[in-house]
């Protein structure tokens, strides 16, 4: 994501309830099958931010981590293009 700029994510689930959580950027947001949720976030500075599913959702729950990478706008644009 571009650092220092607001980003809007549209999130849902296709199987069970999950909880999208990036502690350094945003609170937890439940993802419910068939329902679209909006998460607004902003990384004030470049960096790598760890996220995790925070709702026990099955046998592979512990492996449901993610990383959000925030880059300065020129570097983000270069990656995007």
CATH number at residue 67: 2.60.40.420
Note if the pTM is more than 0.75.
Answer: yes
Q: What is the mean pLDDT of residues 57-79?
A: 88
- In this prediction, residue 7 carries a pLDDT of 96
Number of structural domains found in the chain: 1
Q: What is the DSSP letter of 63?
A: G
Residue 50 lies in a domain: yes
Q: What is the mean pLDDT of residues 11-30?
A: 88
Kindly give, in sequence order, each residue whose CB lies less than 8 Å from that of residue 56, ignoring residues fewer than 6 positions away.
none
- Statement: residue 21 has pLDDT above 90: no
- 29: pLDDT confidence band, cut at 50, 70 and 90? confident
Q: Is the separation of the CB atoms in 49 and 22 below 8 Å? A: yes
Residue 2 lies in a domain: no
Domain extent for 43: 7-80
């Amino acid at each position: 994501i571009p650092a220092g700029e607001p980003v809007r994510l549209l999130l849902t689930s296709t199987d069970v309830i999950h909880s999208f959580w990036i502690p350094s950027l945003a609170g937890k947001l439940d993802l419910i099958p068939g329902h679209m949720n909006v998460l607004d976030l902003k990384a004030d500075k470049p960096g790598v931010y760890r996220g995790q599913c925070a709702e026990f959702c099955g046998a592979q729950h512990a492996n449901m981590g993610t990383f959000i990478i925030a880059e300065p706008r020129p570097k983000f644009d270069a990656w995007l293009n």
